[in-house]
Amino acid sequence: MKINDYKNLFLDRDGIINKVIMRGDTVSSPRYLDEFKLREDFIAFHNRLEDSLNLFVITNQPDIKRGLLKENDLEEMHELIKKNFSIKEIVYCPHDDEDKCICRKPKPGMIRKITNKFNLNLGQCLMIGDSNKDILAAQASSIDSIFLKTEYNSIPSNGFVVNSLLELL
């Protein structure tokens, strides 16, 4: 599977663009700008992508609902992404599982919002994520997916797996 086979790339944020934060044994998102560190392999990956590729970021951010992340801090992180990378749009879900919203991955709401807004051909869309929720959201949206294996996750039962984003180039 190669990136050049697609026109639209959906990226999870935490673990793909930026490093996750370990809080004890729990994988977590950055809550402050000083915790927000870009992944070196993502920078190299992005710099080698075709300019014609549309990049979208979709990310669950339940720490907003939990009162652990301020939307201002989240917006600062997203501004940093937009400033450094050619991202067409960033969509986030501020909800927790108990809200049962349609946007929180593994539900397809964020992907559908973007595919509808930009009238995208689903066959030309690819999701890259580091959690089973990312892969399930892609499946629910009828788009292809790639799972990035890391030291903190376990491989889903189905799908295409890579150990580095650079393997996709």
Instruction: Name the catalytic one among 5, 14, 73, 97.
Output: 14
Helix (H, G, I), strand (E, B) or coil at 75: helix
Q: At what angle do helices 132-140 and 109-117 cross, to 10 degrees?
A: 50
Confidence category of residue 155, pLDDT binned at 50, 70, 90: confident
Give the mean pLDDT of 67-90.
97
pLDDT in tens, 17-36: 999 999 999 999 999 999 99
User: pLDDT: is 53 or 155 the higher one?
Assistant: 53
Overall number of domains in the chain? 1
**Per-residue pLDDT, 70:** 98
Rounded CA separation 83/119 (Å): 25
pTM: 0.96
**Per-residue pLDDT, 93:** 98
Domain membership of residue 119 as a residue range: 3-168
Helix (H, G, I), strand (E, B) or coil at 137: helix
Confidence category of residue 159, pLDDT binned at 50, 70, 90: confident
Residue 124 neighbours by CB under 8 Å, 6+ apart: 6, 7, 8
- Number of Cβ within 10 Å of residue 44's Cβ equals 13
Does the active-site annotation cover 14? Answer: yes
**Per-residue pLDDT, 105:** 98
Q: Report which of 26, 60, 24 is spatially closest to residue 134, judged by C-alpha positions.
A: 60
Give the mean pLDDT of 95-122.
97
Supply the CATH number for residue 73's domain: 3.40.50.1000
% of residues, the chain, pLDDT over 70: 99
Q: What is the mean pLDDT of the chain?
A: 95
Q: Is a pLDDT exceeding 80 seen at residue 157? A: no
Q: Is a pLDDT exceeding 80 seen at residue 148? A: yes
User: pLDDT: is 1 or 124 the higher one?
Assistant: 124
**Per-residue pLDDT, 12:** 98
**Per-residue pLDDT, 158:** 74
Give the mean pLDDT of 141-165.
91
Instruction: Name the catalytic one among 5, 12, 41, 130.
Output: 12
